[in-house]
Amino acid sequence: MKFFLTLLLLASVSAEEDKNLALDGDMIAFVNNARTTWRAGHNSRFANATMADVKKLLGTIMPGEPNYQEPEEQKKTFNLKATDIPESFDLREAQPQCAGIVGHIRDQSNCGSCWAFGSTEAYNDRHCIANGDTKTLFSPEDTAACCSGFKCMFSMGCNGGQPAGAWKWFTKSGVSTGGDYPDVDTGKSCKPYSLHQCAHHSDPDYANDIPPCDSLPMYDTPKCTNTCSDAGYGTDYSKDKHFAKSSYSVKGVEDMQRELMEKGTLSVALQVYADFEAYTGGVYQHTTGKYLGGHAVKMIGWGVDNGTPYWTCVNSWNTGWGEAGTFRILRGSNECGIEGSVVAGEA
């Protein structure tokens, strides 16, 4: 009972929070006049959005929040020393054969399934690196729909979850293949993402069937099935599953860097504030705006921009947001909790 009461409290918003989100000229001007390390801009996605709307698109439980569960302890088996860590690193360059997988930008649509994307994509990248499979895309929908309850740290599909729960699920239940929304009914994968792609915080692209997100409903979690949703796919669901060998947490900046270099992508979570929605480029650090909720993404590298250290992350808000779907965030000071909830596993 306590668990469900907590969920009701998290889902509720005050009248103040339900106002139109203040990503107006004043907030954008404030960020840009602050001469910080990033740029804010107008994002049409929030023309009529409320803070309640935005919260529904997040959905990751952060450390210290109710119902957060610590992932398994990290298993340190690094070959690299701290002195081996370069100033900059990008998995797309370090593993060029997997650049198409690592750099692939996906779209969670109007569903709080970021936790499923940030985990499934990271495992997908590590699978490519470990096995040389440069073609297969894993299914965030299989994760969001079927990774639930106790076996998945009580993750709840479009209503939020934990990447650590998903990584644990990958080791026990595996994840099927699954492309993006344009791949539905093409026969290319078992469970392509069935929720319509849309323009997140960016201009719509009707020519490519990318309408504004606020023209679509807030989706319910897709139903978990033990069959492939694409009838034209030639492999049975049970035989299409891919299993991770392990799941564990990663602690500390240097261990995060060594993990990225030796094994691949990390699943990370961050605290999202209103100004993050206005991000258009640069090294993000929270400047103004209310806390909206936790968000999960994947981390693929790091670097330094005019003396400012950063992490490179891939979001699941399509290519029209941020730096072509990616963003950079301040490194080394646990900015917005980015270094405090890191999980991965062996592929």
Non-local (6+) Cβ contacts of 316 within 8 A are 105, 106, 107, 108, 114, 117, 118, 121, 140, 297
Is residue 84 scored above 80 in pLDDT? yes
Q: How confident is the model at residue 304 (pLDDT cuts 50, 70, 90)?
A: very high
User: Percent of the chain having pLDDT more than 70?
Assistant: 83
Measured over the CA atoms of residue 316, residue 100, residue 119 and residue 254, the dihedral's sign is: negative
Measured over the CA atoms of residue 60, residue 212, residue 182 and residue 278, the dihedral's sign is: negative
pTM, 2 dp: 0.86
pLDDT, tens only, 138-147: 999 999 999 9
Which are the catalytic amino acids?
A: 114, 295, 315
C-alpha distance from residue 95 to each of 68, 258, 277 (Å): 33, 15, 30
pLDDT, tens only, 124-178: 999 999 999 999 999 999 999 999 988 888 788 898 899 999 999 999 999 999 9
Q: How confident is the model at residue 21 (pLDDT cuts 50, 70, 90)?
A: very low
Residue 187 gets the label, from left (phi > 0), alpha (psi -120 to 50) or beta, of left
3-state SS of 169-203 is: HHHHCCECECCCHHHCCCCCCCCCCCCCCCECCCC
CA nearest 38: which of 245, 277, 283, 331?
283
Q: Is beta strand 308-314 parallel, antiparallel or unpaired with respect to 326-330?
A: antiparallel
CA nearest 197: which of 175, 219, 222?
219
Structure tokens at 328: 């950079």
Tell me which residue has tokens 């919260």: 55
Is residue 12 scored above 70 in pLDDT? no
Return the CATH class of domain 2-344.
Answer: alpha beta
Structure tokens at 126: 């590590």
Q: Which sequence spans correspond to the domains of the chain?
A: 2-344
